[in-house]
Structure 1
Amino acid sequence: MCISKPSCKLINKFLMLLFVIGCVEVYAQAEESKTVTITVGKFAPEGCELLGKVKGSSKDNETEDRTASYTERLIKARVNLTHEAKKLGGDNVHILHSNNSGKYEIPGADKEIIHIGNVYRCY
Structure 2
Amino acid sequence: MCFPKLSYKLIIQLLVFAIVIGCVEVSAQPEESEKVIITVGKFGPDGCEFLGKVKGSSKESEIEEDTTSYTNRLIRARSNLINEAKKLGGNNVHVIHSNNSGKYEIPGADKEIMHIGNVYRCH
What band does the TM-score fall into relative to the shorter chain? 0.7 to 0.9
Equivalent in the alignment of 1:50: 50
Distance 2:62 2:87 in 1: 23
Residue 104 of structure 1 aligns with an amino acid whose one-letter code is: Y
Structure 1: which 5+ runs fail to align? 1-28
1:60 partner SS: coil
1:118 partner SS: strand
Paired residues of 2:59 and 2:66 also in contact (CA < 8 A): no
Residue 47 of structure 2 aligns with an amino acid whose one-letter code is: G
2:82 partner SS: helix
Residue 37 of structure 2 aligns with an amino acid whose one-letter code is: T
Structure 2: which 5+ runs fail to align? 1-30
% identical aligned pairs: 74
Q: Please give the per-residue CA displacement for 1:27-47, whole angstroms capped at 9, x wherever unaligned.
A: xx83xx001000110011111
Which sits farther off after the overlay, 65-74 or 80-89? 65-74
Equivalent in the alignment of 2:70: 70
In the superposition, the TM-score normalised over structure 2's length comes to 0.72
Distance 1:42 1:103 in 2: 24
Equivalenced residues, count? 93
After the TM superposition, which parts of structure 1 deviate over 3 Å for at least 4 consecutive aligned residues?
Answer: none
Equivalent in the alignment of 1:117: 117
In the superposition, the TM-score normalised over structure 1's length comes to 0.72
Distance 1:54 1:62 in 2: 18
Distance 2:74 2:65 in 1: 14
Q: Please give the per-residue CA displacement for 1:52-107, whole angstroms capped at 9, x wherever unaligned.
A: 00000000103435210110000000000000000000000000000000011111
